[in-house]
């Protein structure tokens, strides 16, 4: 349970966050928010806001609690999702962002209509809305409520409602600007709190001798938890199948998430320049290298301290209960920061897609003021729907992070095929794009049912290849001619600054060192 000091710390955090969000949401006298103000922060985000917001949007309950749970069950190998994301961010900044910003893209479905046609835009817009509301938003709410329940004893539904309302309070009016500019506070608190809990748990393992001795003791007590590349006879090989995390389907998952996911890429689209967006991507890449210390290491430590948990996802919430008064409030505030920033980011992206890709296309009322109001209504409606659906959808899963990855893995192969061919192959047709989208779901389901022993990451890679072949065949069958909406790559500036190139080199060398050490 939380002591009075803990509650005061959490209260101060909440007041500070809402105050900052209100400050950043201010508009000049007489100016009313436009859709670009609300959904893209007036395209004014500096690099540090882009980078901080990327990580704050990404790291939430399903990451902290879910990946700690997977760290408890599997070990350091689950950190591949974080470390591979670092190099993916560099690649997205180098090769994908220049295309989107050159074409003044606001939403991913908008790009698909420009490149293909309105059918592709509609299908993918509906898909993303469904996934964001019924998978991502529900997962963040449910795991956040689970943490609050474990630490404070508050009823699950009450905790779920509190974090949902809190996220709405600070983000509903200001939109992306309120979210992105306050994310620096969220990230600072998240990193400080996460490092603090890892320090304390390692010190606990070392019986007070300090975190370095604790880490050495952890290596001795659970050496099986420090294998980055799992062998085929490992009990969790089906979740992380050996070299596939480096050479196979995990690339597809990462490129889809960091490159073509509105929830994430919207921050980069709101940057004040291409260079600022790329610098923010590099900043986020360095932060992702640090994340396993915050989201995986506590799970491994809890495996040593509390080896008999009923469900792995109990590891992080239980770790919070081991902290002393005051520090518990600080770390709990950090966790709340991660949860509410992701909730706010998610509902803003839902509102963006619903308003710009669906409502504005079918409504005769298209004034900027009206569309901003529709966006706020969509955000509110999505949050209420997710609150109702959270427990029925996620209440029975003991590793929610793995559930999310496998579910989204049904669709991501087709999404990556559509975007990659759309951006870099002028002959790809709209019918080919739709074939890849439908084929991804059907082939994934067929392999899931007919070949259940196939690891889902391998399935993602296999379906990606098959969907790519299908799309190429359909395009050639339709004549194989250059399409009207094809991207002229000669107009795109793919050159990057010396600082960005140096960042890419450093990130790559760190990753090589990490995988060499923990092979």
Residue 408's pLDDT band, with cuts at 50, 70 and 90, is confident
Check if the beta carbon of residue 319 is closer than 8 Å to that of residue 301.
yes
Average pLDDT, integer, range 418-428: 97
How far does Cα 290 stand from its chain's mean position?
16
CA dist., res. 475 & res. 373, Å (int): 41
Nearest 5°: phi and psi at 497? -70, 165
- 428 lies in a domain? no
- 343 lies in a domain? yes
Q: What pLDDT was estimated at residue 289?
A: 96
Q: What pLDDT was estimated at residue 451?
A: 95
Mean pLDDT of the chain: 90
Average pLDDT, integer, range 62-85: 89
Query: How many CB atoms sit inside 10 A of residue 366's CB?
Result: 12
- 7 lies in a domain? no
Q: Which of 145-149, 380-384, 476-480 has the lowest mean pLDDT?
A: 145-149
- 184 lies in a domain? yes
- 422 lies in a domain? no
Residue 179's pLDDT band, with cuts at 50, 70 and 90, is confident
How does pLDDT run across 15-41, given as a tens digit for each residue? Answer: 888 888 888 887 776 667 788 988 998
Q: How many domains does the chain have?
A: 1
3-state secondary structure of 367: coil
Q: Is the pLDDT of residue 400 over 60?
A: no
The residue among 304 and 405 whose pLDDT is bigger is: 304
% residues pLDDT > 70 (the chain): 96
Q: Alpha-carbon torsion 269, 273, 278, 284, what sign?
A: negative
CA dist., res. 343 & res. 139, Å (int): 10
CA dist., res. 494 & res. 285, Å (int): 19
Q: Alpha-carbon torsion 201, 206, 211, 214, what sign?
A: negative
Q: Give the domain range for residue 261.
A: 38-396
Nearest 5°: phi and psi at 45? -75, 130
- 443 lies in a domain? no
How does pLDDT run across 485-514, given as a tens digit for each residue? Answer: 999 999 999 999 999 999 999 999 999 999
CATH of the domain at 78: 1.20.1730.10
- 361 lies in a domain? yes
How does pLDDT run across 449-462, given as a tens digit for each residue? Answer: 999 999 989 999 99
Is the pTM for the entire model greater than 0.85?
yes
- 67 lies in a domain? yes
Check if the beta carbon of residue 387 is closer than 8 Å to that of residue 435.
no
């Amino acid at each position: 349970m939380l002591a009075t000091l803990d509650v005061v710390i959490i209260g101060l955090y909440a007041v500070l966050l809402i105050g900052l969000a209100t400050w950043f949401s201010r508009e000049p006298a007489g100016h009313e928010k436009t859709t670009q103000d609300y959904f893209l922060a007036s395209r004014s985000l500096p690099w540090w806001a882009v980078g901080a917001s990327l990580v704050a949007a990404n790291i939430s309950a399903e990451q902290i609690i879910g990946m700690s749970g997977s760290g408890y069950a599997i070990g350091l190998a689950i950190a591949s999702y974080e470390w591979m994301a670092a190099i993916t961010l560099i690649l997205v900044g180098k090769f994908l962002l220049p295309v989107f910003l050159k074409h003044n893209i606001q939403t991913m479905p908008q790009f698909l209509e420009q490149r293909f046609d309105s059918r592709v835009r509609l299908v993918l817009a509906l898909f993303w809305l469904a996934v964001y509301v019924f998978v991502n938003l529900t997962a963040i709410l449910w795991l956040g409520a689970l943490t609050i329940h474990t630490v404070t004893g508050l009823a699950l539904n009450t905790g779920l409602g509190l974090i949902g309302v809190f996220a709405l309070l600070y983000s509903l009016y200001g939109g992306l600007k309120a979210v992105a500019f306050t994310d620096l506070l969220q990230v600072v608190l998240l990193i400080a709190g996460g490092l603090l809990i890892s320090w304390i748990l390692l010190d606990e393992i070392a019986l007070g001798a300090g975190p370095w001795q604790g880490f050495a003791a952890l290596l001795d007590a659970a050496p099986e938890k420090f294998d980055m590349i799992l062998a085929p006879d490992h009990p969790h090989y089906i979740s992380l199948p050996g070299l596939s995390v480096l050479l196979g389907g995990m690339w597809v998952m990462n490129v889809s998430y960091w490159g073509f996911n509105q929830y994430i890429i919207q921050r980069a689209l709101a940057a004040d320049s291409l260079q600022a967006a790329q610098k923010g991507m590099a900043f986020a890449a360095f932060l992702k290298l640090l994340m396993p210390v915050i989201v995986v290491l506590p799970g491994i430590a809890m495996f040593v301290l509390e080896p008999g948990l009923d469900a792995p996802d109990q590891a992080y919430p239980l770790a919070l209960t081991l902290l002393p008064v005051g520090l518990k409030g600080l770390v709990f505030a950090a966790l709340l920061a991660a949860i509410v920033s992701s909730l706010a980011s998610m509902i803003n992206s839902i509102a963006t897609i619903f308003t710009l890709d669906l409502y504005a296309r079918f409504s005769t009322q298209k004034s900027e003021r009206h569309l901003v109001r529709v966006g706020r209504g969509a955000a509110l409606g999505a949050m209420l729907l997710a609150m109702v659906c959270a427990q029925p959808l996620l209440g029975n899963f003991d590793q929610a992070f793995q559930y999310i990855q496998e579910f989204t893995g049904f669709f991501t192969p087709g999404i990556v095929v559509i975007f990659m061919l759309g951006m870099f192959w002028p002959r790809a047709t709209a019918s080919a794009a739709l074939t890849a989208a439908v084929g991804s779901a059907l082939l994934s389901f067929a392999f899931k049912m007919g070949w259940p022993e196939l690891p889902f990451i391998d399935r993602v890679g296999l379906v990606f290849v098959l969907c790519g072949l299908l799309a190429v065949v359909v395009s050639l069958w339709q004549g194989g001619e250059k399409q009207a909406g094809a991207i002229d790559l000669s107009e795109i500036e793919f050159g990057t600054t010396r600082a960005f190139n140096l960042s890419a080199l450093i990130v790559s060398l760190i990753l090589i060192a990490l995988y060499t050490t923990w092979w």
